[in-house]
Every structure is written in C-alpha cells, then in structure tokens.
C-alpha cells in the first residue's frame, strides 16, 4: 500500500513537472516570438525613419559590402538592388567608393566632396546634368556584436556647387570685361597727359571719342550686371504692370536704335495682329527685351542689307512675339548656350569696335520668364535667325 502511494505521488509530481516544463517551453517560445516581432517592428521603424531622409543612406560592412540602403539610395539607382553588392559594383565612378573605403580602412570619420564630370549620378542612374557634386559623409558605427559597420550619407550638393561656380565665373568674367575698356581709357589718358598730345586738338578729340565709347561700355556693363544680379538673386522681380500697346513699345525701341539702323542700312518691318494688341506687363522690361534682341541682330550683322522682322500675334492660349533676321545666323553648336551670362558667339564677319556686354540675352530670358513666358531660338545661318517668345493669356505669375 505504501509503495503504491509512493508511486502515485511520484507520478503526480512527474506530471506536474512535465506540465511546468511545457508551460516554460511555451513561455520561451512566446517570448522568442515576441522578441522577433519587437525586432521586426524596430527594423521597420528604423527603415521608415531612414527612408524619410532626403539623402542617400548606406550601411557598409568591413569588406565594403552594402548591407542596407534607404529609399533615397534606391531611388538613385532607379530601384536596382544595392544590398549585398560591393561598393565597386554599386558606384560607376570610383571616386565615391574610394572615399568611403578610406573611412573603412582608417576607422576614422571623414567628409569629402566629390565632383563628377559625367552624365551619370553616383550610383549609376542617368542624369540630365553634365556635372554633379556630392558630399560623402562616412563614420564607423558602434554596433552590438562583432560586426563592424560604417554608416554612409551621400548628399547631393549639385545646386550649391553650380551656384558657387556661377558666382566665381560671374566675378571672373565681370573683372575681365571691365579690365579691357579700363585699360584702353587709361592708355589714352596717359598718351594725352604724359606725352603732351592734349595740344593736338584733332588727335585729342579722336582719343576722347574712343574713351567715351569705352566709358559707355563700362556703364552699360555695370547696368546689365545690376539687372541680372537682381533677377538671379532668388527674389521675385517686382513687376510694375500696366496695359500698353505692343506697337508703342516696339516703335520706342526702333526710335532708340534709329541712328544705328540708318548707318547700317538695315530694314525693319513690323507686323502686329491685331493692330491694337495690348500687354498687361512691365513695359520697362519689355522695352529691354525687344531692345536687346533688335540691337543684338544689328551688332551681329553690321554689313548693309540686313532685314529684321518684328512680329506680335494673338494666338489661342496666349501671345507670340518674334524677332527674326536674315543675317549670318548662329552656329548650331552655340545655340544651347546663347542665353548664358557673358556667352558670345564669335563670328569672323563681325568687326564691331565695341562688343556687347554678353549679358543681353541672359537678361532677355529672365525677364521673359519673370512674366511667365518662355523664349527659344532657332537659326539657319545665312538665311533666318528667329527668337520666339510665347506668353500665356494670363501674364500674372
């Protein structure tokens, strides 16, 4: 009886232990499952946070293999898989991979700017820009365990780089443009004063006339620089809008250029449809736009026989204004750049003593865009060159 009771107690205890073991096992399994869920949620939250970054973000291991790439990084490669690839596979230009591997090799944080002169983004996606600039910010990442990771941030600073480049080019070009007429003026002054030529009335008059032309060139350059600087400052141009007849504005431009037109024997024809076509815009800027276009045609074609046609027509959806001529034209290789600041089309036929400032067409483009319009240029050298301006019905912008 006693043995039977003892066996019964042992059985009950064994059953209790088995149940307790099963309960503990289930508890451990639930805890592991919960831990996996927590880890999954943490990874999802991490990915969401990193995907929200505007900059490309990568995690790279000690053998230069990408173990994580956020949405911005994937966007650069148009969805191509990055995880599992080496840096050399991921980047077309080795300037980028070398910069990152420098951090991996030394174990020290680094930040480096890389300028790429190509038509590709750093990760291989096609770009419309011929040049791009990127800041590579990399640093070792402290992790739990033995895995050594490096976090990499790739920031697109192309806009800032190009803006700085434009400012540097602007200063360099402006300095060059000012230096030439200043040197001529100072040279003539030295001849007049130091060489005693001021007593020679005819020669002094000739020198002073040349000096005045170059002085006017400096004044025009400074005025154009102020206008273009204001237009490109990032602030919206304050337009003084008013209704005016397009014909009146064109006639004002022709009257201002009358001496140049007569001297060169050029012919100006004007077509306005309807006759009372009206613009609600800033007449000051439109006078500048048309003046620069007509003057540019005259300067590029100083020989006799130039025909310039100015047309303004109301069309469905807006107004088209064009200035065309039958002059020497613009080579196709120059057309994409003619609206850039200080860009000049060099022609052997043009022998003008006083060149333009190189800012006229740049001012035209920005003034047109300030009114919500667009300007394009086409040219068949020796036949027809045309600048076409298209304006929407509503010029408010």
CA distance 100 to 176: 40
Stretch (H or E) spanning 60: strand 56-61
- 17 in a structural domain: no
Based on the domain organization, do 93 and 194 belong to the same domain? no
Based on the domain organization, do 289 and 391 belong to the same domain? yes
Last residue within a domain, chosen from 115, 135, 156: 156
Report H helices in 232-359: 246-256, 258-264, 283-300
- 8 in a structural domain: no
Q: What mean pLDDT do residues 136-159 have? A: 82
- 111 in a structural domain: yes
CA distance 207 to 348: 26
Based on the domain organization, do 251 and 394 belong to the same domain? yes
- Closest C-alpha to 59, from 67, 70, 47: 67
| pLDDT tens per residue across span 77-86 | 776 778 888 8
| pLDDT tens per residue across span 269-300 | 999 999 899 988 888 889 889 998 998 899 88
Token pair 């120059």 is at which residue?
334
The structural domain count of the chain equals 3
- 30 in a structural domain: no
Dihedral-angle region of residue 358 (phi above 0 means left; psi in -120 to 50 means alpha; beta otherwise) = left
We report the CATH number of the domain holding residue 70 as 3.30.450.20
- 25 in a structural domain: no
Based on the domain organization, do 143 and 187 belong to the same domain? no
Q: In this structure, what token pair is assigned to residue 372?
A: 């919500």
Based on the domain organization, do 206 and 329 belong to the same domain? no
Model-wide pTM > 0.75: no
Based on the domain organization, do 179 and 135 belong to the same domain? no
Last residue within a domain, chosen from 103, 135, 156: 156
Last residue within a domain, chosen from 235, 265, 282: 235
| pLDDT tens per residue across span 311-340 | 999 988 789 999 999 988 888 888 888 887
- 18 in a structural domain: no
What domain range includes position 175? 159-235
Q: What is the pLDDT of residue 42?
A: 65
């Amino acid at each position: 009886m006693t043995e039977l009771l003892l066996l019964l107690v042992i059985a009950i205890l064994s059953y209790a232990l088995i149940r307790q073991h099963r309960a503990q096992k289930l508890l451990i399994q639930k805890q592991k499952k919960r831990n996996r869920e927590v880890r999954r949620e943490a990874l999802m939250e991490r990915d969401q946070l990193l995907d929200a970054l505007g900059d490309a973000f990568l995690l790279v291991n000690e053998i230069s293999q990408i173990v994580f790439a956020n949405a911005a990084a994937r966007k650069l490669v148009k969805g191509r898989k990055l995880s599992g690839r080496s840096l050399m596979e991921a980047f077309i230009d080795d300037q980028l991979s070398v910069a990152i591997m420098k951090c991996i090799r030394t174990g020290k944080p680094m930040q480096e700017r890389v300028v790429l002169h190509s038509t590709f983004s750093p990760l291989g996606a096609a770009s419309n820009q011929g040049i791009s600039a990127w800041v590579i910010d990399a640093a070792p990442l402290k992790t739990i365990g033995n895995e050594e990771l490096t976090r990499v941030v790739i920031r697109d600073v192309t806009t800032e780089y190009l803006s700085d480049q434009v400012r540097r080019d602007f200063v360099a070009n402006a300095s060059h443009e000012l230096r030439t007429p200043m040197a001529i003026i100072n040279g003539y002054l030295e001849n007049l004063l130091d060489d005693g030529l001021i007593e020679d009335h005819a020669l002094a008059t000739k020198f002073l006339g040349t000096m005045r032309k170059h002085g006017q060139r400096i004044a025009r350059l400074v005025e154009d620089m102020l206008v273009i600087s204001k237009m490109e400052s990032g602030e919206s141009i304050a337009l003084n809008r008013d209704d005016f007849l397009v014909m009146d504005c064109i006639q004002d431009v022709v009257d201002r250029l009358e001496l140049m037109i007569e001297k060169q024997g050029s012919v100006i024809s004007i077509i306005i449809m309807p006759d009372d076509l009206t613009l609600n815009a800033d007449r000051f800027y439109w006078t500048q736009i048309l003046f620069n276009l007509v003057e540019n045609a005259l300067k590029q074609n100083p020989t006799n026989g130039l025909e310039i046609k100015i047309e303004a027509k109301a069309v469905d959806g807006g107004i088209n204004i064009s200035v065309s001529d039958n002059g020497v034209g613009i080579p196709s290789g120059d057309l994409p750049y003619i609206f850039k600041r200080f860009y000049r089309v060099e022609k052997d036929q043009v022998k003008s003593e006083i060149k333009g400032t190189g800012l006229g067409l740049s001012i035209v483009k920005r003034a047109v865009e300030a009114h919500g319009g667009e300007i394009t240029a086409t040219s068949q050298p020796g036949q027809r060159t045309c600048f076409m301006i298209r304006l929407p019905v509503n010029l408010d912008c």
